[in-house]
C-alpha cells in the first residue's frame, strides 16, 4: 500500500515539475510550485518525517507562494520567450541530475536496521535517555532544542540574517511614521503619493491594497 | 476585494483560528510534531491572509513593520540570552539543567524559552519579508 502511495506522490511531483517547466504563465507556475511543496509534504508524511512535512507545508506551500506572488506583482505575470535554445541548460541539468541519481547508489538502503544512523551510539542515547534526561516525549524536539540547541540557535540567526538581506535589497517597505503634531498623532508616509491620500480613508493602490471602507478601489 | 464578501467573511472567521492553531503547534511541540519554526510561519500566515484580503495599510496599523523587525532580532536575543543565563548560573552555554533545581524542569523551561525565541524570530522575519515585498509597489508607484 505504501509503495502505491509513494509511486502516486512521486508521479504527481514529476508531473508538477514538468508543468512548471512548460508553462509561460508565471502565476500558474507559482501555484504549481505550491502544489509541488504540498505533494512533497505528503511524501515526507509517508516517510514518517512529520516535522519536516509540517515545515514544508507551512513554508513551501504557504509563505513561499505568497512571497512569489508578491514578486510577480512587481515583475509581471508572463515569462518572456528565451532568446536562445535551451540546449546547454538541458545538458547541465541532465548531467547534474544523473550525477545525483548515481550518488544515491552510495546511500544506505532505506529503512534497514543496520544502517549507520541506527547503530550510532548518539541515536541510541537520544532514544534511550532523552525520556528522563529531557523529560519530553518528542525526541525530535529534545534533539532540536536541547541536545543540538546550539545548532538551532544558528538556524534562528540564519533566518534573521535572511531578513536583514531582504531588507537591504528591498530597502523601503511600507514604513509609516507616527508623528506628534502638537495635539495629536498622525501617520506620515515616506512616499508623497501615499501621504496625499488621507490616511483616514485607508485608500490603497499597491498590489495588496484593495480596501477602503466606502468600497470601490479596484485592484491594480 | 470589497466585493468579495464571502472571501472577506471567510478570512475574518479563519484568522483567529489560524493564530490559535499556531500557538497550539508551538506549545504542543513537546508532544507531537511542531515547534517554533512551524508556529512562527503559521502565526505570520494569519497576518499575511489579513493583508491579502483587507489590504496592507490596515495590516500595518495592526502590526507595524518596526515591530516585525524588532521581533526578528528579539527572538534571537532571547535564544542567545538563555545561553548567557545558563553560563551565569555556572554551567555550559545552553545547558538548561541549571535553570531549575530539578534538571528535568530546567530542560522544560529552557526548551520553552528557546522555542519561544524561535517563534518570535520566525514570525518577525516572515512578516517582515512579506512587508518588504508587498510594500515596494505602493511606494514605487
Asked if the Cβ–Cβ distance from A135 to B104 is below 8 Å, we say: yes
Q: Please report the pLDDT score of residue A73 as a whole number.
A: 78
| Residue ranges for chain A with pLDDT beneath 70 | 171-180, 184-185, 187-220
Asked if the Cβ–Cβ distance from B138 to A205 is below 8 Å, we say: yes
Nearest to B133 among A50, A67, A205 (CB): A67
Asked if the Cβ–Cβ distance from A58 to B60 is below 8 Å, we say: no
Coil, strand or helix: which one is A63?
A: helix
Q: Please report the pLDDT score of residue A199 as a whole number.
A: 46
Q: Please report the pLDDT score of residue A32 as a whole number.
A: 95
Q: Please report the pLDDT score of residue A38 as a whole number.
A: 94
- Answer yes or no: are the C-beta atoms of A34 and A64 closer than 8 Å: yes
Residue B94 to residues A148, A178, B38, B71: CA-CA distances in angstroms?
Answer: 9, 39, 22, 21
Q: Please report the pLDDT score of residue A195 as a whole number.
A: 57
- Answer yes or no: are the C-beta atoms of A17 and B1 closer than 8 Å: no
Asked if the Cβ–Cβ distance from B131 to A190 is below 8 Å, we say: no
Enumerate the residues of chain B whose CB falls inside 8 A of the CB of residue A70.
130, 133-134
CA distance A180 to chain B (A): 16
Enumerate the residues of chain A whose CB falls inside 8 A of the CB of residue B41.
55, 58-59, 62-63
Burial class of residue B133 in the structure, from the number of CB atoms within 10 Å of its CB (0-12 exposed, 13-18 middle, 19+ buried): buried
Asked if the Cβ–Cβ distance from B2 to A215 is below 8 Å, we say: yes
Q: Please report the pLDDT score of residue B123 as a whole number.
A: 95
Q: Where are the domains of chain A?
A: 1-78, 111-171, 174-220
A43: Cβ contacts below 8 Å, ≥ 6 apart = A6, A9, A10, A13, A53
Residue-number span of the structural domain to which B113 is assigned: 5-140
CA distance B89 to chain A (A): 17
Residue holding cell 529531557?
A134
The pLDDT of B77-86, averaged and rounded, is: 94
Nearest to A211 among B57, B135, B141 (CB): B57
Nearest to A58 among B38, B79, B124 (CB): B38
Alpha-carbon span A213 to A199, nearest angstrom: 12
- The mean of the pLDDT values for chain A is 81
Q: Please report the pLDDT score of residue A201 as a whole number.
A: 42
Coil, strand or helix: which one is A78?
A: strand
* Percent of chain B surpassing pLDDT 70: 94
Segment B3-46, tens digit of pLDDT:
789 999 999 999 999 999 999 999 888 888 888 889 999 999 99
CA nearest neighbour of A29 among A37, A20, A18, A38: A20
Residue A181 has φ and ψ, to the nearest 5°, of -110, 65
Segment B103-128, tens digit of pLDDT:
889 999 999 999 999 999 999 999 99
Segment A18-47, tens digit of pLDDT:
999 888 899 999 999 999 999 999 999 998
Q: Please report the pLDDT score of residue A213 as a whole number.
A: 42
Alpha-carbon span A90 to B44, nearest angstrom: 38
Report the 3 state secondary structure along B95-111: CHHHHCCCHHHHHHHHH
* Percent of chain A surpassing pLDDT 70: 78
Task: Give the three cell numbers for residue B78.
Answer: 532571547
- Answer yes or no: are the C-beta atoms of B94 and B115 closer than 8 Å: no
Q: Please report the pLDDT score of residue A96 as a whole number.
A: 97
- Answer yes or no: are the C-beta atoms of B122 and B75 closer than 8 Å: yes
Nearest to A210 among B55, B60, B141 (CB): B55
Segment B40-74, tens digit of pLDDT:
999 999 999 998 888 888 898 899 988 999 999 99
Give how many domains chain B has, as a whole number.
1
Residue A200 to residues A92, A123, A146, A147, B63: CA-CA distances in angstroms?
Answer: 55, 59, 49, 52, 17
Enumerate the residues of chain A whose CB falls inside 8 A of the CB of residue B139.
172-174, 190-191, 194
Alpha-carbon span A170 to A167, nearest angstrom: 5
Q: Please report the pLDDT score of residue B35 as a whole number.
A: 86
Amino acid at each position: 500500500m505504501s509503495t502505491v502511495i509513494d509511486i502516486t506522490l512521486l508521479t504527481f511531483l514529476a508531473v508538477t515539475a514538468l508543468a512548471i517547466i512548460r508553462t509561460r504563465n508565471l502565476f500558474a507556475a507559482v501555484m504549481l510550485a505550491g502544489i509541488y511543496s504540498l505533494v512533497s509534504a505528503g511524501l515526507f508524511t509517508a516517510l514518517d518525517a512529520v516535522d519536516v512535512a509540517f515545515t514544508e507545508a507551512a513554508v513551501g506551500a504557504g509563505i513561499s507562494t505568497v512571497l512569489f506572488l508578491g514578486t510577480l506583482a512587481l515583475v509581471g505575470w508572463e515569462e518572456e520567450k528565451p532568446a536562445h535554445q535551451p540546449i546547454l541548460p538541458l545538458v547541465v541539468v541532465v548531467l547534474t541530475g544523473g550525477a545525483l541519481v548515481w550518488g544515491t547508489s552510495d546511500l544506505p538502503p532505506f529503512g534497514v536496521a543496520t544502517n549507520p544512523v541506527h547503530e550510532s551510539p548518539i541515536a541510541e542515547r537520544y532514544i534511550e535517555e532523552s525520556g528522563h534526561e529531557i523529560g519530553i516525549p518528542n525526541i525530535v524536539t529534545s534533539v532540536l532544542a536541547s541536545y543540538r540547541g546550539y545548532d538551532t540557535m544558528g538556524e534562528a540567526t540564519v533566518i534573521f540574517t535572511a531578513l536583514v538581506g531582504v531588507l537591504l535589497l528591498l530597502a523601503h517597505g511600507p514604513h509609516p511614521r507616527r508623528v506628534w503634531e502638537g495635539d495629536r498623532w498622525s501617520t506620515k508616509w515616506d512616499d508623497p503619493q501615499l501621504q496625499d491620500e488621507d490616511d483616514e480613508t485607508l485608500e490603497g493602490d499597491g498590489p495588496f491594497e484593495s480596501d477602503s471602507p466606502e468600497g470601490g478601489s479596484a485592484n491594480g | 476585494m470589497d466585493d468579495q464578501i464571502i472571501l472577506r467573511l471567510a478570512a475574518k472567521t479563519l484568522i483567529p483560528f489560524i493564530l490559535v492553531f499556531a500557538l497550539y503547534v508551538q506549545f504542543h511541540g513537546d508532544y507531537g510534531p511542531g515547534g517554533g519554526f512551524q508556529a512562527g510561519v503559521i502565526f505570520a500566515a494569519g497576518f499575511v491572509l489579513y493583508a491579502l484580503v483587507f489590504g496592507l495599510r490596515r495590516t500595518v496599523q495592526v502590526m507595524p513593520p518596526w515591530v516585525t523587525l524588532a521581533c526578528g532580532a528579539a527572538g534571537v536575543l532571547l535564544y542567545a540570552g538563555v545561553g548567557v543565563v545558563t553560563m551565569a548560573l555556572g554551567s555550559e552555554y545552553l545547558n538548561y539543567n541549571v535553570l531549575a533545581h530539578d534538571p528535568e524542569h530546567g530542560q522544560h523551561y529552557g526548551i520553552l524559552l528557546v522555542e519561544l525565541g524561535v517563534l518570535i524570530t520566525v514570525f518577525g522575519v516572515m512578516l517582515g519579508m512579506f512587508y518588504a515585498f508587498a510594500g515596494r509597489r505602493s511606494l514605487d508607484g
